[in-house]
């Protein structure tokens, strides 16, 4: 499962990205994260679940920022946009829960 996360990061969330590839990667990361083993009895996620979560945060931020910036190129948004001169904040919300 960790290989799938690595491969998707390289192929779909790498330097050249598109909305289609990012969405495909997000679906895979969510699936892998759901299948991953718990890390401890207290239900903390294990290493595969942590990798899937980290990868999904990267992909979600890249999908949210619809422009090319720095070394990361959005093939569907090749130009910089002044409106994106800001930080992106993401918050993980439990399924069926609400953000604090």
Domain boundaries, the chain: 2-84
CA distance 99 to 67: 27
pLDDT value, residue 64: 85
Average pLDDT, integer, range 74-84: 72
CA distance 58 to 17: 12
Q: For Cα atoms 4, 88, 50, give the angle at the middle one, nearest 5 degrees.
A: 30
Q: Please give the model's pTM, rounded to 2 decimal places.
A: 0.69
CA distance 94 to 14: 27
Least-confidence region, from 14-18, 32-36, 69-73, 92-96? 92-96
Q: For Cα atoms 61, 43, 35, give the angle at the middle one, nearest 5 degrees.
A: 60
pLDDT at 43 over 80: no
CATH topology classification for 2-84: Methane Monooxygenase Hydroxylase; Chain G, domain 1 (1.20.58)
Three-class SS of residue 70? coil
Average pLDDT, integer, range 18-29: 94
Please report which confidence band the pLDDT of residue 5 belongs to, taking 50, 70 and 90 as the band edges.
Answer: very high
């Amino acid at each position: 499962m960790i290989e799938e996360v690595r491969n998707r990061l390289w192929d779909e969330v790498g330097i050249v990205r598109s909305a289609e590839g990012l969405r495909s990667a997000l679906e895979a990361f969510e699936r892998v994260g759901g299948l991953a083993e718990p890390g401890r009895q207290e239900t903390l996620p294990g290493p595969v679940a942590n990798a899937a979560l980290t990868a999904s945060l990267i992909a979600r931020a890249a999908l949210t920022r619809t422009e090319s910036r720095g070394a990361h190129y959005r093939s569907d948004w090749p130009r910089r946009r002044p409106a994106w001169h800001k930080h992106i904040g993401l918050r993980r919300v439990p399924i069926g829960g609400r953000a604090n």
